[in-house]
Amino acid sequence: MASARSVMLQVLLLAATFAAVPGVLSDPPPLQDFCVADLKAATTVDGFPCKATSTVVDDDFFSDAMVAAPRTDTNPFGVNSTRATVSAFPGLNTLGLSITRTDLAPGGLNPPHSHPRGSELVLVLKGEVMVGFTSATNRLFTKVVKENELYVVPRGLQHFQLNVGTGDAVFMAMFDAQSPGLVTPTLALFATEPAMPMEVLTKTFLMGKDDVTAMKSKFAGF
């Protein structure tokens, strides 16, 4: 039978192994019951400081952001997302989760993007949505997801959602991060401030300056 000392050593080694592996948890575990975000705090931390417990109220743990259907005719993609991340829902602070509602017009597309700090679980509430993501080996995984069906997108991978049904579509995207982040390649290349160097764009896309300028004009104002 292993001695108590050897068992303790194995436990410590296992704990050290998990601590050394980045990304075992998307967000670190909380240290207290709750830490409602103080969005007006002057102190900058990795997240948000906590409000004083004495100032926390019931509504800090409530959000009705998902109730109203947003317009989908305000952009050429036919998509609109309502995000309940910690910035809009302070009660999520330190809890390692958030949610987004996305509405798609017929044929609407949520363009390829990634979330560097969170995996995404898609639940389709209405319509038929093609969900797809690409791996680091450029393999494409896709599935048409119907009402009450789920699809998961691993953290950090490029993915998209396309309405392939005949009517409007709605899905909820749940994240294992209070602020999963959003990186959209087209905007990251063509709508940066300051502008991405023209030489980088022409060499990346094997196009001339006129073609790149035309492409950039399509994303002006985003």
The pLDDT tens digits for 82-112 are 999 999 999 999 999 999 999 999 999 999 9
The per-residue pLDDT for range 160-213, each reduced to its tens digit, is 999 999 999 999 999 999 999 999 999 999 999 999 999 999 999 999 999 999
Structural fold of domain 28-182: Jelly Rolls (2.60.120)
Cα angle for residues 115, 17, 181 (degrees, 5° grid): 10
Residues 105 and 129: beta-carbon distance below 8 Å: no
Q: Give the pLDDT score at 18.
A: 46
CB-side neighbour CA atoms (13 Å) of 146:
1
Pinpoint the residues of the chain covered by CATH 2.60.120.10: 28-182
- Judged against a pLDDT cut of 80, whether residue 137 lies above it is answered with yes
Residue 82 or 221, more confident: 82
d(CA 45, CA 28): 14
Tokens of 207: 């196009």
Predicted model pTM: 0.82
- Answer yes or no: is 115 a known binding residue: yes
- Answer yes or no: is 93 a known binding residue: no
- Answer yes or no: is 75 a known binding residue: no
- Answer yes or no: is 147 a known binding residue: no
Q: Give the pLDDT score at 154.
A: 96
**Given CA atoms 136, 138, 139, 143 in this order, what sign does their dihedral have?**
positive
- Judged against a pLDDT cut of 70, whether residue 2 lies above it is answered with no
- Judged against a pLDDT cut of 70, whether residue 149 lies above it is answered with yes
d(CA 127, CA 70): 16
Which residue type, as a one-letter code, is found at position 153?
V
In sequence order, what are the beta bridge partners of 173? 100, 122
Q: Give the pLDDT score at 8.
A: 56
The per-residue pLDDT for range 21-80, each reduced to its tens digit, is 544 456 777 778 888 999 988 877 778 999 999 999 999 999 999 998 889 999 999 999
d(CA 98, CA 115): 12
- Answer yes or no: is 110 a known binding residue: yes
Q: Which strand (E) or helix (H) includes residue 43?
A: none
d(CA 58, CA 55): 10
